[in-house]
Structure 1
Amino acid sequence: MNFLRNAILGLLMAGTLHGAPVLAADAAAIEAENQAIKSLLTAIENKDYQQFVEPGTSDFAKLDPAQFQAVAEQIGPRLHAGYQVQRLGDYRQQRYVFSLWKISFKDGGDELVGTLNLQDGKVGGFVLR
């Protein structure tokens, strides 16, 4: 389990603090975030690295494929079995606005918390804990 925890913490952070800050969320921004989180989780479920980095900034696309695969191997089957995503809100950190998400799995096991940062409509950062 420590491997999974370390992989999750170390994964999906590329580009988190690069580029222009995202301003407070409005309805259009929230919809863009919903689409992004669904796309990212689907890519993890399908173990599809290209699909995962495609909606991201050039810095986000620098994510190590091996790190992605390690997390996808652990989380992908749980996502495939069914999950729900709930947007919990926003928070500011170092001039940036991040949306906070709860991922609950149908298997009833541990939930994950995700943070997402969009920059000009592209994924600038995505972290699962």
Structure 2
Amino acid sequence: MKTRFLLLALTLLFAPFAHAQDDADPPVQTQKPPEKLAPAVRDAFNLLMTSIQDDDYTGFLVGVDDNFKAALTKKMFDTVVAQMAPRQKNGYEAIYLEQLKRGAYTVHLWKLAFQDGGDDILAEMSLKDGKIGGFFLR
């Protein structure tokens, strides 16, 4: 009997607060679903990732701008391949997160989650005028 009384008392005590939020502004969304990804953006990202997995330096450079092409040496590419390709071949999921505006570039972000259970990687691909101006794996 004491338990029922206590439960009733708590219900009556907190009942006014249960509906207090109904009159308040709705909560701010902190996460929104990604906007529809343009096929050209998806294709550019897939080309980069496939080129890394297949150790295809020439293929990697197909859609990049002249500045990025000049800055990315074969040795740098080989370092990325050595770290990434084995994990990619073991299986991974690329999850599109968002796009950001940085000056004249649109930066697209992906989360790379690997089947090996290791750390996820944040991939950033910068586009300007349909060309890839940067690709970073963090």
- Whether TM-score is above 0.5 comes out as yes
- Pairwise CA distance, 1:93: 2.4
CA distance in 1, matches of 2:62, 2:104: 25
Q: CA RMSD in A?
A: 1.9
CA distance in 2, matches of 1:80, 1:100: 21
- Post-superposition Cα deviations, 1:46-89, rounded to whole Å, max 9, x if no partner, equal 11111111111111211111011011011111111111111101
Deviates more, 1:117-126 or 1:90-99: 90-99
TM-score normalised by L of structure 2: 0.68
Other structure's SS at 1:108 match: coil
Q: Is the 8 A contact 1:54 1:61 kept in 2?
A: no
Q: How many residues are aligned here?
A: 104
Other structure's SS at 1:39 match: helix
TM-score normalised by L of structure 1: 0.73
Q: Is the 8 A contact 2:113 2:121 kept in 1?
A: yes
Q: For residues 8-27 of structure 1, what are the structure 2 equivalents within 5 Å?
A: 27=36
Per the alignment, residue 5 of structure 2 pairs with none
Per the alignment, residue 81 of structure 1 pairs with 90
What stretches of structure 2 of length at least 5 have no aligned partner? 1-34
Q: Residue 102 of structure 1 aligns to which amino acid in structure 2? A: K
- 1:96 is aligned, of 102, 105, 121, to 105
**Identity of paired residues, percent?**
35
Per the alignment, residue 4 of structure 1 pairs with none
Higher relative contact order (CA 8 A, sep 6+): 1
